[in-house]
Amino acid sequence: MEALPDYPERVAADHALRVERATLLGSLALIAIGAWWLLGSIGSQSSPSIRFAPVALLFSGSLLLSDLTKFDPSGKFRIATSCCISWPPLLAITEVNRVANGNLGALALLGLMTLFLLISSRKILSHSISSRRWRGIATLLGLGIAAAIVLDSAEPISWAIVIAPTISIIVPDFLIRDQSSDQRRKFSEELRRAEREMLRTQSETPGMQQPASILKIAREEGWADPEKGLRLILEAEQETHRIEMMSRDIQNLKIVANQSVSRSESITGRSGKSREILELAEKEFEQGSFREAETLLRSARSKSDSIERYWADAKNAIQTASEAIGSETGHMIDSIRKSLDAAMAAMDDDDPMEALTIASTIPDQVSGADANIEIANESIIEAKRAISTIENQPSVEISRRMDDAIDALEKGDASMARGLADGIIREVKQTSDASSTVQRALRQRGSIEGRLPTGGSRSEWTKRLDSITKLANEGDWIVASEKLSNFVRDLEKFESERLEAQEMLDFLNSDWPSLRSRLDSAGIQPNNPNRMKTEKSLAEAEEEIENGNLKAALHHMGSADESMEALRRMA
C-alpha cells in the first residue's frame, strides 16, 4: 500500500494536537486541584505555608506544563528558572513539616521533589558561565522565599538545614570564573595604566586624538575580548610614542628655525614672511597637524637661510643695476627699469635669490640697449644715404617713415627705429632696381612694339605700355615695374600661342595643295561648297593670326579641317 506524500506531516500534526489536548487537560487538572486545596484550607488553623505553598506550586506547574511538553530552548530556560526558585522553598516546607512532626511519607516525598528540582535546575543551567550565574541568581531568589518560610521556626537547626545547603550551592555559581578572567584582569590593569599615561601625555603633547580614540575602542571592546583589548592598548602606546618622537623632532626643528629667522631679521631689519610662516607653523603644531607644521618650519628656515646667503649680494646687485641705468630714458630703458622694480619687489617679498637673479642681468641689458641704439643710429644714417641717392624728391611716405625712425631713436626705442630705417633702405633699393628695369625696357619700346600684333588687339597692348610709361613719368617705379613684368609675361605667352597657331595653319596650307590635286582628278570642281569653305576658312585664319585674334583663328582652322576631311572622303 502506497502512503500519501503528506503522510508524515499529517502524523506529526495529529501527534502535536494530541499532546496539546493532553497538556490542556493536565493544566486544568492542576488548577482544579489547587483550587480544591485552597477551598479546603479556608478556616484551617494550619500555617500559611501549608495552606498556600501547595496552591502556588500547583498553579505554577499548570503554567509550566506546556513548556514541559515542548521542551524547546526558551521552555527549558523557564523550567530551569522555576526549578531554581522552587526547590529552596520546598526544602523549607519540608523542614517546617519535620519540625511539626509531619507524616514521614509526605516528608520523604517532599524531599524527593526538592532533590529532583535541584538536579534538574543544575543539569539544564550548566552549559555556560552566564547560565550558571543566572542559576545562582534564581536560586538566591528562592532562598529569600525559603528564609521567609522558616522565619517562624525557633530551632536553629532549621536555619542550618535550609539556609546552609542553599548558600553552599549558590556561592560557587557566583564565584565561578571563565578562562579569560586572568586576561581580563590584566586588561583592566593595562587600561588604567594606559589611561593615566594618556592623561599625562595629553597635558604635555598636542595631537593625541588618534591614540585616545584607540584607547576608547579598547575600553569598549576589551572587556568582551581581552586579547583584542590588550592589542589595541599596545597600538595606542605605539602611536603615542610615535607622536611624542615627532613632537620632539618638531620642537628641535622649531628651535633651529626660530634662530634662523631671528638672524635673517637682524639682516633685513624687519619682520618678514619667515616670521609669519613660523607663527603659522606654531598654530598648526598646537592643533596637532605635525606634518603641516614640519613643512612650514622647513619653509621658514629655507627662506631665512636664503636671506642670510643672498641678501647682501642681492642688495649690491640692485645698487649696481641702479647705477648702470642712471638717468637714462627711452623705451628700452623703461623696460629695464621695470626689471629693477621687480628685483626690489622680490627683496620686499624676502626673496633675495630671485632679486639677485633679476638684478645681475640688468647691466648686460643696459649694455645691450646701448648697442642696439648704436646699431639703430647706423641704420638711420644708411637710410638717409639711400634717400640721398634718389634722383627725384623722395615720396611723402618715405619722408614720414624717416621722421618716425628718428623720433623712435630719440625716445630710446631702438628696435622700432632700426626696423623703420631698414624698411626705408629696402624700399629705396627696390625702387632703384625697379627704376633701372623700367627705364631699360622703355628705351627698347620700339622693339617691344614690333612684337605686338596688328589689327584691333594691338590697341589694348599699346594702352598697357602707355600706362607703364605714365607711371614711370610719375616716379611710381615699383608699380610700373610690376605692370611691366605682367606685360612682358603676357606678351611672351601671346607670342607662344601665336607661334603654335601659325604652325597649325602652315600644316593645313601644306596639306591643302595635294588634296586639291586629288579633288581635280576626281572631278570635284572648285565651286564645290566644301572646297570653297576650306579656301575661305584658311584665308580667314591667316588674317586673324595677323590681327592677333588667336581664338577666332583657331575656330576658322577647325572649320577648314572639318571641310578638308569631308573632301578626303569624297576623293
Work out the pLDDT band at 63, boundaries 50, 70, 90.
low
Distance CA 297, CA 333 (A): 41
- List b or e across 103-130, with b for residues whose CB sees 16 or more CB atoms inside 10 angstroms: eeeebeebeebbeebbebbbebbeeeee
Nearest to residue 301, comparing CAs of 258, 333, 341?
258
Which long-range contacts does 473-478 make (Cβ < 8 Å, 24+ apart)? 475/392, 475/395, 477/431, 477/434, 477/435, 477/438, 478/430, 478/431, 478/434
| Domain range list for the chain | 7-181, 186-306, 310-364, 373-443, 461-466+473-570
Angle between helix axes 550-570 and 529-547 (nearest 10 degrees) is 160
Encode pLDDT of 255-312 as tens digits: 777 887 777 777 777 777 777 777 787 787 777 777 787 788 787 777 777 777 878 7
pLDDT tops 60 at residue 7: no
Mean pLDDT score across all residues of the chain: 72
Mean pLDDT calculated for residue range 427-434: 63
Encode pLDDT of 307-358 as tens digits: 778 787 778 877 777 776 665 666 666 677 777 777 777 777 777 787 777 7
**What secondary structure, in 3-state letters, does 401-470 show?**
HHHHHHHHHHCCCHHHHHHHHHHHHHHHHHHHHHHHHHHHHHHCHHHHHHCCCCCCCHHHHHHHHHHHHH
Q: How many CA atoms are closer than 13 Å to the CA of 6, on its beta-carbon side?
A: 3
CB 230 within 8 Å of CB 190: yes
Count H helices and E strands in the chain, helices first.
21, 0
Residues 6+ apart with CB under 8 A from 297: 250, 253, 254, 257, 278, 281
Q: Who wins on pLDDT, 280 or 388? A: 280
Distance CA 436, CA 448 (A): 17
Distance CA 98, CA 219 (A): 54
Residues 6+ apart with CB under 8 A from 422: 379, 383
Encode pLDDT of 192-230 as tens digits: 887 788 777 766 667 677 777 888 887 887 777 778 878
Phi (first) and psi of residue 44, to 5 degrees: -75, 150
pTM above 0.75, yes or no: no
Nearest to residue 398, comparing CAs of 381, 374, 423?
423
Which range among 59-63, 218-222, 490-494 shows the weakest confidence by mean pLDDT? 59-63
Q: Locate cell 617705379: which residue?
A: 477
Distance CA 74, CA 192 (A): 39
Q: Which three cell numbers stand for residue 276?
A: 609669519
